[in-house]
Chain A
Amino acid sequence: MIVENISCGRDDVLQETTDLVDRGYRLMNMFADEGGGQWMNILLRRRDRVVRLSYMPGEQAVPLSDDIPAAMPYERLVAEMSGIAFTDGGREPLVYRRSGDGYPLQKGPYDGSTAVPVPIPPNRSVGDDVFEIPVGPVHAGIIEPGHFRFSVAGETVIELNPWLGYTHRGVERLMEGHLPSDRIHLIGRVSGDTCVSNSVAYSEIAESGSKVPHRARVLRTVLLEMERLYNHIGSIAGICTDTAFTVASSMGNGMLEKVLRSNRELTGHRFLMDHVVPGGIRRDIGDDTLRRLDDFLIGLKFEVEELYDLMDNPGLVDRMETTGTLSQERALMIGAVGPVARASGIRSDVREEAPYETYGELGFVVQVRDPGDVLSRTMVRFGEITESISMIHQCIQSIQPGEVRVRPVVDDGFHCSVVEAPRGELVHSAIVKNGRIWRYSIRDPSFPNWFGMCHAVPGNVVPDFPLINKSFNLSYSGNDL
């Protein structure tokens, strides 16, 4: 990955950004940091080239969202977290949704206990017959808290706005001031089911000055793919549960359980937590264990095929086809990532574009499907399960004995790492000053994808929403940070 730092004046930033976007760069993250005044950082990426564009906004920052719609959520986040004002007016709070004395990501003391919640504004749609259905943050099932507000006049959804932020913990602020190698436990818990990806992204920053042994990299790849495997299987089982396709649902959940047990055998933890550390992995995984994993995965592959055949049921396919379509155009507009983007026909996969760990040595096919409905998202996941199994097999076949951990070293300055988490492109970026973290920013793949829901759900009927939601399978805690 090649990181290029560009500083520019306030007046040129819009021109610079649009030029980069025209050259194929895609917006990846935006965050503010303080170093002799507020700086705005705009991260863009084209394949393995990352550009960090920084400028001093002064009194008011330049809005990019008019030309690049995908920038809107970042602008809202920057406005509420770092207190950046924009020339074209205020921004509706997105995640923190509280107003208090100061801003949580500005340097200096901040007391969150005195902040008062900002009420959720009504939806834009109006009309005599239009009413709103509020769902959440308390749900009947065991899922993360989030509030969804539908505007409907009966069954067809006219407008949907997700309101998250109920699991905001202030992760970015908690990172600041610590040694870069110290915060692996916190990072592992940013989003429980994305633990390995987050840990790898963090470790790549924290170990950027040292050379990680090859065996550790191979094992990290195995763990990354195991994480993808259980996430995708869980997501497919969830689709069956939501459509009341009970037998397939039990079968999927049974497979999920088997994968989780094999995770425990590999690392001692069902969700693979705390095994990846800066400098390598915590403990070597024996060759016997890996061989057993390989055998298990061969069996799993047959089970996946069986599940696929079971789900090839006209009723179920009818349920999924044309439901919750996110067109390619819309997906590009909001900057969708991961399986969601790939299901809308966008070929974007960090593993292929900017290979990290040992992905460059593996052969795999990026799963791209059309036209962005629930069925295509499910098919992408099925395809990726097969690819993951094949990749783990390749890793186990090629693994060589050796060291698995070195001392992590990191230089001062700006660092950035991009990982393809199960939900898509996960971006970590850090500014290290005097050997300590000065500013840390995480962009979870769910963050842009939540806005995909706003485009995919309207036009569908209310009872199809849970299915669409499940097919996006987004993280609340990763989004809320």
Chain B
Amino acid sequence: MVMVVETSALLTSYLVAMFLPPALGMIAGRLSSGRVSYLLCSFSCIVGMMCYPVWNAVPGFTMTFPLGSALGDYAVDVDMLTSIFVSISSLVFLMIVVHMSHSGHGYRPAMASMSCALFVSCMLCMMADTVVLVLVAWEVVSLVTFLMGDDGGEGGHRWRFLVITHVGGMMLICAFTYMWLVSGSQYLHDWTGLGERMGATASIAVILCLFIGFGTKLGTLPFHVWMPDMYSGSPTHTSALLTTVCSNVAVLVLFKTVFSCVGTTHDMVVPGVALCILSAATALWGAMESMIQREPRRILAYSSMENMALVTMCLSLGLVFSDASEGLMALVLLAGLLHALNHSVFKSLMMLVVDSVEDVTGEGSIDRYGGIACSMPALSAVALVGIASLAAVPPMNGFVSEWLMLQSLLGTDVLASDMRVLMPLLVAMVGVCGMVVATSYARLYGFTFLGRPRSPGASEPRAQRRGSLVPLVVLAASCVCMGLFATPLMDRMSAGVTEAAGIHQGYTAALSGTMDPLVLGLMIAGTVAVLVAASKVVSYGKAVDDTWGCGGTLDERMQYSSEGFSQPIVRVFHPFYGDTSRREGDRYSTGFTEPFVKYIYAPAGRLVMVLSERITRIQTGNIQSYLSYILVTLVVALLAVRLL
């Protein structure tokens, strides 16, 4: 009894520490231009980071908030996986907020309040145990990011985001409401194995709704069109939060509802394959598109699309493997969830790097950067860690999750699956995707940091703000640590996954190969260190000269352009990209249009415009016609009631 009291007291104080300061921060937005809110938010982030230790210490991390509501209760329930997600997301959130408060953008004080609101809603959404809380928190996340996307401009990107995300939101509401009706309980923890009760067709429909609904936020085809515009049009920190923490929320809630609430049955294999193919297509699309973008933020937007598609691919493979082997299922789910977490760390790092680069140079396109590694070696080193993680280069964290992904595709248990023929194709897809995005990242890094400066801003960058490098260093260190110490992290997450999805086997059962990221990392670092040490033994002369220009001097026109760098691949995949270059006299230009915008969204938008013009015609302004409209409506309504 005493224990229980203590536990609940601890929990209460923990949750209060986590949610009260940002709640106050929302109100205190304008105080000392938002500094108070930033501080309160940062404090809560630190509290959030302790979620995993707290979960470890407290058995049964559940609580119902004493808030009445007509629709139901507000309750939280934290399991092992959620606590890991909350901890890492809080870390990422903290770093972004710290960087935001140091940034030179002169954000409106409202940004500080809104980041408090975003923190609360994201964390609540992850922890939520009731339908109402999930849906409300999810909606608040969307609205707050919409508001934070305001950069003072026209804001078309925000509205596109809002519309698409609400299409997804509607699907989620349908899915959740249906499950609520079938289960008869508003508590998510009561929904375990709901798939049995809903029947095959209904559960497939629910799962598709969930995947697509959360997919709108994760950039699943064809709902990805908001991403590049939103990421490049919004303040960088908004984009950073959106692509990391919000994506984590979507992935976690999707995982929990699909695998722990609906559960998996044999019927899930076919929709799983369909979703898997959709995700694979999304990943390829994102990879290909990211390679031809000029703005770093658009490159990162498409790269998020690719990474998130790999995550949803893993989750849908979880459905596919459900009839083959539990170990394989655990492995592939772990790969997906770990990749989501890794992605949030390295992507936030890259977003902040991009922000710093934009800040110091005052330019927004990789064609205007260059040579920053010479003037800012520390920033370039940190960025290299992020890029290496993104490109899945060992021993960074991105590599570990891709390794897991490939392991799950190559595992011997695959032979038990009816869909095993799919696996070589997926291996090929992951390979191609990996190299295309690696090209994209080499391009991003090479044209930003290496070479000679391409603009005045890049040749004489402004000094960075003091302390703005600290969050970057922390995130880079996390990338390295999550890579090197991936094994303990994987073990803990795997326990969480098996617990949540009701799997009885750990991921190690399905592994067909071994890899020790720590030893591998040490081997690479050790060899390089030995080589460096050996080269120090005998010193030798070093001369500095100009870059070789074939007997002449190189001017600013004589450096490879980023478009030129990607042109060979564009040419190889010509059917995909279409005609990109145009020539008018001596003027040569390249341009890409997103086919989804051109062939789907733009016609759809025009159709809506035409329809709304038609509808305005009935607005005659004549009182008689309005009365007749009322009459017609009344008659139709009465008839409907009578007949049904």
Contact = CB atoms under 8 A, between A and B. Distances in A.
**Is there a direct interface between A and B, measured as CB atoms under 8 Å apart in the complex?**
yes
Interface residues of A, number: 27
B551 A138 contact: yes
B564 A131 contact: yes
A79 interface: no
B551 A137 contact: yes
B549 interface: yes
Interface string B549-577: 11110100111111111111011000000
Given A124-B586, A125-B586, A155-B571, A130 B550 contact: no
A464 B558 CA distance: 20
A152 B564 contact: yes
Interface in B516-564: 549-552, 554, 557-564
Given A122-B557, A125-B588, A153-B581, A139 B367 contact: no
Contact of B563 (A132, A147, A154): A154
B550 A139 contact: yes
Interface in A416-445: none
A171 to B, nearest CB: 23
Given A137-B552, A153-B567, A153-B581, A158 B559 contact: no
A153 B568 contact: no
B56 interface: no
A145 to B, nearest CB: 8
B201 interface: no
A127 interface: yes
Given A131-B564, A138-B551, A153 B558 contact: no
A129 B550 contact: no
A170 B141 CA distance: 78
Contacts of A134: 549-550, 552, 554, 558
Contacts of A125: 586-588
B588 A133 contact: no
Contact of A153 (B550, B559, B563): B563
A133 B558 contact: yes
B548 to A, nearest CB: 9
Contacts, number: 78
Given A126-B588, A137-B551, A132 B558 contact: yes
B550 A128 contact: no
Interface in A103-143: 122, 124-139
B552 A126 contact: no
B292 to A, nearest CB: 11
B13 interface: no
A125 B557 CA distance: 11
A152 B564 CA distance: 8
Interface in A254-290: none
Contact of A154 (B567, B586, B589): B567
Nearest to A127: B588
A134 B558 CA distance: 7
Of A122, A139, A154, most B-chain CB atoms within 10 Å: A154
A145 B550 CA distance: 10
Interface string A142-184: 0001010001111110110000000000000000000000000
Which DSSP category, helix, strand, loop or mixed, fits chain A's interface? loop
B590 interface: yes
A155 B574 CA distance: 14
A156 B588 CA distance: 12
Interface string B436-459: 000000000000000000000000
Given A153-B567, A155-B571, A129 B590 contact: yes
Interface in B580-596: 581, 583, 586-590
Contacts of B587: 125-127
B2 to A, nearest CB: 72
A131 B561 contact: yes
Nearest to A128: B367
Of B551, B566, B570, most A-chain CB atoms within 10 Å: B551
Interface in A175-217: none
A155 B590 CA distance: 13
Contacts of B588: 125-127, 129-130, 151, 153, 158
Contact of B589 (A124, A127, A137): A127
A381 to B, nearest CB: 29
B551 A130 contact: no
A134 B563 CA distance: 18
B561 A137 contact: no
Contacts of A124: 586
Nearest to A152: B564
Given A127-B588, A129-B588, A130-B588, A136 B551 contact: yes
A145 B564 CA distance: 27
A127 B589 CA distance: 6
B553 to A, nearest CB: 9
Contacts of A136: 550-551
A131 B588 CA distance: 11
A135 B568 CA distance: 21
A152 B568 CA distance: 12
Interface string B2-36: 00000000000000000000000000000000000
Contacts of A152: 564
B573 to A, nearest CB: 13
B580 to A, nearest CB: 10
Nearest to B556: A131
Nearest to A166: B551
A130 B561 contact: yes
B563 A137 contact: no
Nearest to A138: B551
A126 B586 contact: yes
A124 B557 CA distance: 12
B67 to A, nearest CB: 56
A122 B552 CA distance: 13
B551 A153 contact: no
A290 B487 CA distance: 84
Contacts of A145: 551
B590 A153 contact: yes
Contacts of A129: 367, 561-564, 588-590
Contacts of B570: 154
Given A127-B587, A134-B552, A154 B571 contact: yes
Of A124, A129, A152, most B-chain CB atoms within 10 Å: A129
Nearest to B563: A129
A163 to B, nearest CB: 10
A425 to B, nearest CB: 31
B574 to A, nearest CB: 12
Nearest to B294: A128
Nearest to A154: B567
Interface in B320-374: 367
Interface string A341-380: 0000000000000000000000000000000000000000
Of A124, A131, A136, A155, most B-chain CB atoms within 10 Å: A131
B564 A154 contact: yes
A183 to B, nearest CB: 32
A132 B557 contact: yes
B563 A128 contact: yes
B561 A135 contact: no
B564 A153 contact: yes
A134 B559 CA distance: 10
Contact of A147 (B552, B559, B566, B589): B552
A130 B571 CA distance: 16
Contacts of A155: 564, 567-568, 571
A329 B564 CA distance: 31
A50 B559 CA distance: 49
Contacts of A133: 558
Given A129-B589, A153-B581, 11 more contacts: A125-B587, A129-B367, A129-B561, A131-B561, A132-B557, A132-B558, A135-B550, A137-B552, A145-B551, A155-B567, A155-B568
19 contacts: A125-B586, A125-B588, A126-B588, A128-B563, A129-B367, A129-B561, A130-B561, A130-B588, A131-B561, A132-B557, A134-B549, A134-B550, A137-B550, A151-B588, A153-B590, A154-B566, A154-B567, A156-B567, A158-B588
In the A-B complex, list the 4 residue pairs whose CB atoms are closest, starting with the nearest. A154-B567, A138-B551, A129-B563, A127-B588
